[in-house]
Amino acid sequence: MATIQEKISALIPEASFAEVQGLQVSVPDAQWHKLAKALYEDANSPFDYLTTIVGMDWGETLGCIYYLESTRTGNRLSVRVETADRQNPQLHSVADLWESANFYEREVYDFFGIVFINHPDMRRLFLRRDWVGHPLRKDYDASPEVNPIRLHHEEAYDTTVSYVEQPDGKIVKTEPVIFEPDDYVINIGPQHPSTHGVLRLRCSLDGEFIKKIDPYCGYIHRGIEKMSESLTYPQTLHFTDRLDYLSAMQNRHALCMCIEDAMQVEIPERAKYIRTINDELMRISSHLLFWGTFCNDLGSTTALIYGFREREMVLDILEETTGARMSFHYNKIGGVMHDIHPDYQRKIKEFCKIMPERLKEYHRFFTGNVIAQGRMHGISVISKERCIAHSMTGPSGRASGWACDVRKRIPYALYDKVEFDEVLRTEGDIYARYMVRMDEILQSIRIIEQLIDNIPEGPVSEKMKPIIKLPEGQWFRQVEASRGAFGVYIESRGDKYPYRLKFNSPGMMLVASLDEVCRGGKIADLIAGGGSLDYVIPDIDR
Amino acid sequence: MQYEDFKDNESLEKLVEELNAAGTNVVVGVFDDIINWGRSNSVWPLAFATSCCGIEFMSVAAARHDMGRFGFEVTRNSPRQADFLMVAGTIVHRMAPILKRVYDQLAEPKYVIATGACAVSGGPFRNSFHTVPGIDQILPVDVFVPGCPPRPEAMLYGMMQLQRKIKVENFFGGVNRKQKREEFFKDKE
């Protein structure tokens, strides 16, 4: 890391450094784009993967923290950029380097009102255009009179706003066009059975071929991050089960781990085993649901019934132990809520025996089908480089050959002790994404089989104080959720409430890449392409 | 009927008088029963699924819980073909006008079930700046199903409560739901 620090200080003498879970660089905004370009093009370890951008309101200043990673060397770095101007905050955009910054910066603009100079598309991402204020600012006025429930429809705009810096340093507002007046634009969603939640897409067509897709989010934006700022740490936990409800266990695992990191608590060995097994069960149930709904989207409606048959078996196992079918609320700070059910191990072993047979059945039903093959092979292809540029993690990234599994990259819980393969394919088409998920079910079973007989005796949770306070600082942790790298960022000021809590969801980048994945393909393949990315909308909107 | 009773016109006249006073017409009442029997056993939902409850609703439709057993048969994706709106999940400010539009598109007679804590009252997100605290703020709701998310059994129970409600409806006089709905929207505008 020292060499990176030297390089940066040689390039930008004003940069200051701090040790916050690795190296953190603070640079003034004027130098930021220069630094970003240098980091992106570094010869030895190019920081080509933008993990997330965390928008921040530090009281006097507004700004962002950029989390960067090099896929070649695995080096990680965070950069802090801030601006003192609260009335008219402006930062320089890096959307020209990392494709994923496009949506992340729009999110920051929506929540904090920070305008990104040279960003091609400075629209709100989650809230309506006529929404007053920027909600995650500390001085936001949340009274319902300012923003009542509006029952009139939003207008559809075909242009956007962009602030472009001229060579002489002046900033000029321009109006780039999204759709030309003679484009044939169709609207899909938000109430549409095949968008997997309430996603709205506007796409322009050239005959049957897609020219451009413009995704709209926010139809299920519940303001979780804002609400968390007034809840205690144990209270914030319950939101995680409702973000991506198909990776409820993993999401909660991430937040618990982040808080435990901050408190420097080591959880009991037994709890680690239970958490790991539950994470994998959750992944299986999520991939089963993917199989059912994806086949349903492609016209094989019976598959849904089969997918749910096995999913119910997983839910039964989890229900016996946790008491719920969906919002489990099982992990807690310092371990898990209560001990496992006496039948837990026996039932899981039975399930692990049945499941590989059932997978063969699935392949016989659907995968080998001529129509299914024709609709999956070579369609909606994306390359590894573009996956990294879009930060498309999870099975969708691995289908293009990017080894992005957090369980391997930054092992947590027991993933460094068990043997499993990271399923990789290189085609990057719908079939690859489909098969990666199918094969991951087998790997999950392999992990569970290694752990299930060896759960050690002992307590299931560490005894915690009734009021949990985190020391001052900032923490960022990632886990591998069912559809990609799920991150949690906490900034604490020593209170029992988080100063800022951010969830970095994998689904947002999947939707952001939809335009590139499906562009040029047929409109009929849009549903298959989107279905194979397997995004969950409440995860994106939060 | 005994011969003596047959000749007893007085009590028959009294019976008819009573029925007329209570507002029931014998022949038309039977029509009501037939229509209600048919309608209550074939109510097709429109799944307005926004989040977690939507996945549980899919479980209700799948083989294990199989709502087809009770006459809910299939979910329709077009409001023109559905009988009731199954609002499963949080409704936020941006979604509210769309929910209202889908409701307006449903053909008469129409019903609404609010499924899950979020649709009932805003649930865990009630204090948020962007959540509608219960869809009864914008729509007339027939059945509330609490839970987060409700178990499939609870959803089936709620849907069967709707069937019971349909069974006692009068089309030819008596209480008419339509008037109630007009009242509901009167003070909204």
CB contact under 8 A, B128 and A226: yes
Residue B131 contacts A where some CB pair is shorter than 8 Å: yes
Q: How far apart are the CA of A162 and the nearest CA of chain B, in angstroms? A: 24
In order of A74, A456, A457, the CA distances from A460 in angstroms are: 33, 10, 9
- pLDDT for residue B5 is more than 80: no
- Mean per-residue pLDDT over chain B, rounded: 81
Of A191, A223, A304, the CB nearest to B128: A223
- Give yes or no for a contact between A200 and A190, defined as CB atoms under 8 angstroms apart: yes
pLDDT score for A445: 92
Is B58 close to A308, i.e. CB distance below 8 A? yes
Sorting pLDDT into bands at 50, 70 and 90, what band is B27? low
Distances (CA, A) of A198 to A220, B50, B57, B94: 7, 6, 15, 11
The model's pLDDT over A530-541, given as tens digits with 9 standing for 90+, comes to: 888 888 888 888
- Structure confidence at residue B54 (pLDDT): 87
Please tell me the distance from the alpha carbon of residue A116 to that of residue A79, in angstroms, as a whole number.
16
pLDDT value at position B15?
65
Rounded Cα distance between B67 and B65, Å, is 6
Q: Which of B51, B58, B130 faces A223 most closely, judged by CB atoms?
A: B130
Complex prediction ipTM = 0.84
A224-541 CATH: 1.10.645.10
- For helices A269-297 and A344-362, give the axis angle rounded to 10 degrees: 30
Answer whether A227 sits within 8 Å of B125, measured CB to CB.
yes
**How far apart are the C-alpha atoms of A110 and A226, rounded to whole Å?**
13
**C-alpha of A211 from chain center:** 26
Q: pLDDT band for position B1 (50/70/90)? A: low
Cα(A280)–Cα(A446) distance, rounded to whole angstroms? 10
CB nearest to A222's CB, from B54, B92, B96: B92
CA angle, residues A240, A470, A336, in degrees to nearest 5: 45
User: Given CB atoms, is B160 within the 8 Å cutoff of chain A?
Assistant: no
Whether B189 has a pLDDT exceeding 70, the answer reads no
Give the pLDDT score at B12.
Answer: 62
Cβ(A129)–Cβ(A106) below 8 Å: no
| Interface contacts A/B by beta carbons within 8 Å | 122
What architecture is the A2-9+17-146 domain classified under in CATH? 2-Layer Sandwich (3.30)
Residues 6+ apart with CB under 8 A from A307: A288, A289, A291, A292, A293, A295
Domains along chain B with CATH numbers: 44-167 (3.40.50.12280)
Q: Are strands A115-117 and A90-92 parallel, antiparallel or unpaired?
A: parallel
Test mutation, A110, A123, A192, A198, chain B, max B CBs within 10 A: A198
Residues in chain B with CB shorter than 8 Å from the CB of A140 are: 129
pLDDT at B176: 47
* pLDDT over 60 at B175, yes or no: no
Question: What does A423-447 look like in DSSP terms, one character per residue?
Answer: ---S--SHHHHHHHHHHHHHHHHHH
pLDDT digits (tens, 9 = 90+) for B152-174: 999 998 888 888 888 777 666 55
Bridge partners for B93 per DSSP: none
Q: Which residues touch B3 (CB under 8 Å, ≥6 apart)?
A: none
Rounded to an integer, what distance in angstroms lies between the CA atom of residue A231 and that of residue A233?
Answer: 7
Tens-place pLDDT, residues A369-409: 888 888 888 888 888 888 888 888 889 889 998 888 888 88
- Domains in chain A: boundaries: 2-9+17-146, 224-541
What residues of B are in contact with residue A537 (Cβ under 8 Å)? Answer: 50-51
Interface probe, candidates A111, A192, A220, A238, chain B, greatest B C-beta count within 10 A: A220
The reported pLDDT for the residue numbered B20 is 62
Low-confidence spans in chain A with pLDDT less than 50: none
For A527, residues 6+ apart whose C-beta sits below 8 A from its C-beta are A194, A297
Is some CB atom of chain A closer than 8 A to the CB atom of B186? no
Backbone phi, then psi, for B114, in 5-degree steps? -95, 115
Nearest to B116 by CA among B131, B101, B98: B131
Structure tokens at A228: 């968390």
Residue keyed to tokens 């019971």: B164
Cβ distance A538 to B51 less than 8 Å, yes or no, reads: yes
Which residues of B fall within a CB distance of 8 Å from A151? Answer: 96-97, 100, 138
